């Protein structure tokens, strides 16, 4: 496994791979690797000759500086995780490799003013900017994004179709632990009580959603969900959103059998997101 921190050296290795007609899979991360990332890595390795993992804590996608400061980072653990999972290259650039002096952020133009884009102003500008730079540097055959942040996946898929047509975006299912929690780097910020509240809430929420008629209109289902959460002692401090949206275009049109249920909420000061389809 190679750990490369600069673009010139990375591209020298990538040039050799491409001359040998080797397919390159790319898994972008901000570190804090876990089994969710492991599933992305596995998907890449099953369909490519080489797998590159980037580790770059992107400051441009944080609209709250305290959130950036609290983000869990442990490089040693990340290196060990990549070594165990037989990664070919870790690309770990510094901020100046990605954002040269006077760099101008790219504006996100997809799936705006809904879900996380509504509640985290500028967040997806930072996401599309860093992903665009990484795509230009690596030029992978395939790039892997988890469905846990489904809005991000949809945005990057549209970005690639418009600006990086040679790169195929692959979505990968969310991985959960035995209690139902979606693996997330931010879970490291939760104490045992918060994790129990989260797990119980997701369990009850899923049971309620699966009790709904799959032919319900999204608008009707969202009213029922709002009443259910209002009448239930969830233990959640604050919600940004809890709603069904169309799986294909994230609109509020259609029925819930072709939708996902999206959540963003706070446990203490930690913001968490999740989504799932009806079983």
The dihedral through the CA atoms of 78, 29, 36, 115 has a sign that is positive
User: Is 143 found in the same domain as 215?
Assistant: no
Please tell me the predicted confidence (pLDDT) of residue 52: 98
User: Is 201 found in the same domain as 168?
Assistant: no
The answer to whether residue 26 scores a pLDDT higher than 90 is yes
In a domain, 126, yes or no: yes
User: Is 156 found in the same domain as 262?
Assistant: no
The answer to whether residue 72 scores a pLDDT higher than 90 is yes
Give the CATH number, domain containing residue 250: 3.30.1300.10
Question: How many independent structural domains does the chain possess?
Answer: 2
Residue 233: pLDDT band with limits 50, 70, 90:
confident
Give the CATH number, domain containing residue 107: 3.40.50.620
User: Is 160 found in the same domain as 63?
Assistant: yes
Which tens digit of pLDDT belongs to each residue from 54-71?
999 999 999 889 999 999
Contacts of 182 (CB under 8 A, 6+ apart): 36, 148, 174, 175, 176, 274
Catalytic annotation present for 37? yes
Task: Please name the helix (run of DSSP H) or strand (run of DSSP E) that holds residue 224, with its range, or none.
Answer: helix 218-230
CA 47/CA 45 separation, integer angstroms? 5
Distances (CA, A) of 256 to 86, 99, 116, 132, 209: 40, 41, 20, 33, 10
3-state SS assignment for residue 161: helix
Which tens digit of pLDDT belongs to each residue from 236-272?
989 999 999 999 999 999 999 999 999 999 998 999 9
Single out the catalytic residue among 34, 37, 123, 242.
Answer: 37
Tell me the pTM. 0.96
In a domain, 179, yes or no: no
Range of the domain at 149: 2-172
Q: What are phi and psi of 23, to 5 degrees?
A: -75, 140
User: Is 127 found in the same domain as 36?
Assistant: yes
The answer to whether residue 177 scores a pLDDT higher than 90 is yes
CA 2/CA 55 separation, integer angstroms? 13
What's the chain's average pLDDT?
A: 96
User: Is 196 found in the same domain as 123?
Assistant: no
Contacts of 177 (CB under 8 A, 6+ apart): 35, 183
The answer to whether residue 2 scores a pLDDT higher than 90 is yes
Q: Is pLDDT larger for residue 52 or for residue 63?
A: 52
User: Is 205 found in the same domain as 70?
Assistant: no
């Amino acid at each position: 496994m190679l750990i490369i921190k600069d673009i010139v050296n990375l591209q020298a290795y990538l040039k050799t791979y491409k001359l040998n007609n080797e397919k390159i899979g790319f898994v972008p991360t901000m570190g804090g690797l876990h089994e969710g990332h492991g599933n992305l890595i596995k998907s890449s390795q099953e369909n490519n000759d080489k797998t590159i993992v980037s580790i770059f804590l992107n400051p441009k996608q944080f609209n709250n500086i305290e959130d950036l400061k609290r983000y869990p980072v442990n490089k040693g653990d990340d290196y060990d995780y990549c070594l165990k999972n037989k990664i070919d290259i870790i690309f770990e650039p510094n901020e100046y490799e990605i954002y040269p002096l006077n760099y101008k952020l790219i504006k996100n133009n997809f799936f705006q003013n809904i879900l996380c884009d509504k509640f985290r102003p500028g967040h997806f500008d930072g996401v599309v900017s860093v992903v665009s730079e990484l795509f230009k540097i690596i030029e992978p055959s395939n790039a892997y994004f988890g469905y846990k942040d489904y809005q991000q996946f949809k945005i990057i898929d549209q970005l690639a179709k418009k600006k990086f047509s040679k790169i195929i975006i692959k979505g990968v299912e969310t991985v959960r632990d035995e209690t139902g929690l979606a693996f997330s780097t931010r879970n490291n910020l939760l104490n045992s009580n918060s994790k129990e509240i989260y797990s119980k809430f997701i369990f009850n929420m899923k049971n309620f959603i699966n009790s709904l008629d799959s032919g319900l209109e999204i608008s009707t289902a969202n009213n029922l969900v709002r009443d259910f959460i209002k009448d239930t002692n969830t233990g959640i401090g604050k919600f940004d959103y809890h709603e069904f949206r169309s799986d294909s275009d994230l609109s509020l049109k259609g029925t819930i059998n072709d939708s996902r249920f999206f959540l963003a909420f706070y446990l203490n000061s930690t913001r968490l997101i999740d989504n799932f389809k009806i079983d």
